[in-house]
Amino acid sequence: MVTKKKSNETSYTFYSVSSDTTSDGWWPVSKARQYVESQLEEPTPAKQDALAAEEPSRDELYDVLANRRRRYVIHYLQYHEGAVDLGILAEQVAAWQYDVDTEQLTSTQRKNVYTALQQRHLPKMDEAGVVSFDRRTGNVSSTDALSEIEIYTEVVPSGDFPWSRYYLGMSAVIISLLTAAWVDVYPFRMLADMQWGFLCATWVLISAVVHEIMTRKMKLGTDPEPPEVDR
């Protein structure tokens, strides 16, 4: 609050910034200006390090993501903007966990998930800086740190192989094809080297497009249901 004060002998302009700034609570204009300018200064490296320390570390993120219920919470919060009531969140997490619709949940299933989120998972996520959990109101919301993180979960069923192995095999095949065409091995010499190069490039392009589409589906918060839920 800005206040103007005058004495009987001489007029001065003072600014009252807070009651604990000086003994009498009044600052002259020059000192008040210095205070305001100091608050507008760029953060020092020490302040920046302190802000960075508030963000979840890689180990904390891995620890949070190690549990399926916590991954469901992150997915829900990243897909739905704003705060959500714990009861609504627990109901949806329970439906994903038991692979049923929310209307088909039993009271025991709802209670088990609600209690686990309230007493164990959400406090842990709040401590890690991933979510903001208000125990009094039951509101849960994502933090700025979580909003800046993109989380992908690659689910590889038994018998399948990851994309890294696919690209490794594809590279080996392409090298073999181009080598055979270059040394004029029949029947690869039936096409020109340029044609083989175009076919291989097209194969790589199509693979990359399919990989991108599937990767987006594995990103938490992209679709209504988490990548782990297969209905």
Do 132 and 143 contact (CB within 8 A), yes or no? yes
Which range has highest mean pLDDT (14-23, 131-140, 179-188)?
Answer: 131-140
Contacts with 65 (C-beta within 8 Å, 6 or more apart), sequence order: 71, 74, 151, 153
How many whole angstroms from its chain centre is CA 196? Answer: 42
Lowest mean pLDDT among 34-48, 70-84, 214-228: 34-48
Which tops the pLDDT comparison, 147 or 187? Answer: 187
pLDDT band at 61 (very low <50, low <70, confident <90, very high): confident
Amino acid at 155: V
Q: Which helix (H) or strand (E) holds 27?
A: strand 27-28
Contacts with 160 (C-beta within 8 Å, 6 or more apart), sequence order: none
Give 139-174 pLDDT, tens digit per residue.
999 888 877 777 766 656 555 678 888 999 999 999
pLDDT at 212 over 50: yes
Q: How confident is the model at residue 139, as a pLDDT?
A: 94
Domain residue ranges of the chain, discontinuous segments joined by +: 1-41, 56-147, 153-231
Do 148 and 196 contact (CB within 8 A), yes or no? no
pLDDT at 44 over 70: no
Which tops the pLDDT comparison, 188 or 206? Answer: 206
Q: How confident is the model at residue 27, as a pLDDT?
A: 54
Report d(CA 69, CA 94) in Å as an integer: 8
Q: What is the mean pLDDT of the chain?
A: 78
Give 65-121 pLDDT, tens digit per residue.
889 999 999 999 988 878 999 999 999 999 999 999 999 999 999 999 999 999 999
Q: How confident is the model at residue 109, as a pLDDT?
A: 95
Write the CATH number of the domain with boundaries 56-147. 1.10.10
What residues form DSSP beta bridges with 84?
140
Section 11-34 average pLDDT: 50
Q: How confident is the model at residue 222, as a pLDDT?
A: 74
